[in-house]
Structures are given as C-alpha cells and as structure tokens.
C-alpha cells in the first residue's frame, strides 16, 4: 500500500494529525462483530467485545498476543474504564451495566429503570464526578443474534445516568431513536450521542447529536445535530486531547472538528463499530471493525476520559 491508502484528507487541518508512514495494522481477526474497546494502561492491554460469539477478547501490547478475556460475556457490547481503573461493561444478554472490581468480582450497576428491565445497554462513558452515562437501544433484544430476543419493557431507547455515589439511575435523554455511542466534550459541558435509529426508522439522521449539559452536571438541555455521517453509521467514538471527534463509519474512522467540519478519514478495510485510545503515550487509536481489531499510531493524543 502507498501511504495515502490509509488516510484521506478532506480539510487541510487533518494533514498534521497523522504521519504518512503510519500504517493501519490488523492486530487480530476472527470475531463476528467486534465492539467496545477499552484500554488498561497499567497492564498495557486492550479488552474488547465479540458480541455474537458471547466473548470478550484481550490484546496484549507487550507481545502482541490475543486471548479470550471472558466467555461467556453475557453478549457484552460497549466497555470503558472508570477513574479507578475498573472495567465498566454494557451487557446485551445481561441487560445491565456491570463493573468488574479489582478482585475480579462482577457487580451490577444498573439493570432496570423505574422497575422495568433495561433493553440492552450499548455503550458507556464515565464522567469526572464518577457518574456513568450509558445508552440503551434495543439491538440486544431485537433477536437472539447479539443477545436474547425479548420485548422491551420500557418501550423506549433512552440515555441514562448512574449516580456515582448513590447508584440511582435517571433518564437523561428520552428523544432519540436508537442512542448508541456517547462521549463528553473535554470540559464536560456538552454530551455527544450517536443515533443509529435509521436501522429501524427510515429518515433518522445517521450521525451524532450534541446536548448541552445542565449547570448541575447531572442532566442535559438543548440539543442539535452535530454531524451526519459521510459514510454508513456513526456508532462508537472518542475525542482526542484537542476535542476532535474520532468516530466509526462505514469506510473507516472519520475525524470531525468540534466546529462540525469533517477533517478527514482513516481508511479501514472493514466497517468500523467503535474506537478507543491506548498505548503508553495514548496516541494509538484502537479500532474495532467487523471481524477484526486494527490500530493506527497518530500524531495526536487521545483525551483521557472523553
Ligand atoms: Mg455501539
């Protein structure tokens, strides 16, 4: 491949974000649907989900080895790491958000709202106050393919907040079709949420909405469309340390300036579902793409918790 095969510059501002010799490398393959990457800096390994195969995988950066991290995984989907370094997991099959404690115990953080079971938590992010915000579309109960077929008890696909102190679950966004990936802006004054609702409701904008976080930091107010995906769906995404959004798309990873401009693309041979930053310098973008895990070392660093 020539170097240009890996990147597409759409806005000149994208050119300094990558090194022309930096390759998109396939680190692992053989998954059915790779999702939910999460980086553990202390151990220098990545954990991600293979949803239909009911397992979570582990990539060790120190020697390149790949192994099964957890099986069965309750058809785990999105993963993230909280401020104490604990694994937070969205489980389709378990219909819950779980946390893996330092001793390995897995505890339930949320499995219901107002007495009704959650649909199938998809992706989660941890805010600086210790609260966990997660999306709850129905992909894990639509069929047995990536969870367990069931009828929604809630009857809606919301975004929820788990209070870091009390564990109370509140609905923070109730006007989306299929909320999916999410991340806070660097100052946590805005919350970006992808809506993949076009899979069920034609005409739903396939992109990312941005919500103003209320002054109390516990709810959101006004929202607007942040971007419309230039190819396929925006599913999971992460921010870099300068606030740009690196999001999944049908033809790779798209980089959006916070002003809403599509800056460029990292081209990936398979459709991308989710990404996260890792590596000792936090400048490696790990990419979960259909059957494979890819990585690319960039000229920017990821935001630690956005
Ligand atoms: Mg997702």
Average pLDDT score over residue span 81-98:
97
Average per-residue pLDDT for the chain: 96
Distance, in Å, from the CA atom of 6 to the CA atom of 62, rounded to the nearest integer, reads: 24
Residue 182 predicted with pLDDT over 60: yes
pLDDT at 2: 47
Distance 126 CA to ligand 1 centre (A): 16
Give the angle 180-148-131 at the CA atoms, nearest 5°.
40
Among positive and negative, which fits the CA dihedral 270, 250, 266, 186? negative
Residues counted in the chain: 306
- Return d(Cα 171, Cα 62) in angstroms, integer: 40
Per-residue model confidence as pLDDT tens digits over 235-278: 999 999 999 999 999 999 999 999 999 999 999 999 999 999 99
Give burial (CB, 10 Å; 0-12/13-18/19+) of 188: middle
76-98 burial: b if 16+ Cβ within 10 Å, else e? bbbbbbbeeeebbbbbbbbbbbb
Q: Tell me the CA–centroid distance for residue 302 and ligand 1, in Å.
A: 19
For residue 242, report the distance from its CA to the centre of ligand 1, in Å: 23
Ligand 1 centroid–CA 239 distance in Å is: 15
Task: Rounding to the nearest 10 degrees, give the CA dihedral for residues 284, 288, 289, 292.
Answer: 90
- Say if residue 305's pLDDT is above 80: no
Average pLDDT over residues 18-45: 97
The gap between the terminal CA atoms of the chain, to the nearest Å, is 32
Write down the pLDDT at residue 306.
63
Task: Using the mean position of ligand 1's atoms as its centre, give its distance from the Cα of residue 124 in Å.
Answer: 9
Asked which of 2-11, 172-181, 216-225, 296-305 is least confident by mean pLDDT, the reply is 2-11
Contacts of 11 (CB under 8 A, 6+ apart): 257, 261, 262, 263, 264
Site of tokens 């002003």: 259
- Please determine, for residue 8, whether its predicted confidence score (pLDDT) is greater than 70: yes
How far CA 151 is from CA of 14, 38, 118, in Å, comes to: 44, 30, 11
pTM of the model: 0.97
Tokens of 218: 């516990």
Ligand 1 geometric centre to CA of 223 (Å) = 20
């Amino acid at each position: 491949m020539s170097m240009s095969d890996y990147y597409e510059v759409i806005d000149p501002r994208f050119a300094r974000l990558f090194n022309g010799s930096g390759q998109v490398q396939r680190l692992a393959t053989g998954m059915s649907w790779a999702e939910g990457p999460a980086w553990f800096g202390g151990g220098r390994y990545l954990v991600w989900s293979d949803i239909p195969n009911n397992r979570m995988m582990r990539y060790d950066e120190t020697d390149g080895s790949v192994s099964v991290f957890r099986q069965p995984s309750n058809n785990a989907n999105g993963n993230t790491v909280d401020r104490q370094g604990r694994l937070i997991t969205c489980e389709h099959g378990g219909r819950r958000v779980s946390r893996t404690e330092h001793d390995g115990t897995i505890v339930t953080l949320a499995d219901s709202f107002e007495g009704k079971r959650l649909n199938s938590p998809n992706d989660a992010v941890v805010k600086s106050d210790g609260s966990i915000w997660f999306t709850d579309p129905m992909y894990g109960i639509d069929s047995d393919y990536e969870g367990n077929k069931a009828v929604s008890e809630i009857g809606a696909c919301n975004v929820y907040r788990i209070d870091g102190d009390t564990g109370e679950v509140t609905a923070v966004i109730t006007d989306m079709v299929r909320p999916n990936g999410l991340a806070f802006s660097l100052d946590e004054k805005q919350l970006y949420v992808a809506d993949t609702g076009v899979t069920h409701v034609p005409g739903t904008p396939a992109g990312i909405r941005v919500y103003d976080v209320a002054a109390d930091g516990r709810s959101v107010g006004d929202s607007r469309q942040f971007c419309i995906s230039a190819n396929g769906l925006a599913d999971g995404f992460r921010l870099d340390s300068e606030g740009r959004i690196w999001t999944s798309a049908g033809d790779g990873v798209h980089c959006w300036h916070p002003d809403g401009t599509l800056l460029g693309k990292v081209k990936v041979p398979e459709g991308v579902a989710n990404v996260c930053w890792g590596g000792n310098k936090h400048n490696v973008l790990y990419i979960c793409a259909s059957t494979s895990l890819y990585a690319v070392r960039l000229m920017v660093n990821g935001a630690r918790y956005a």
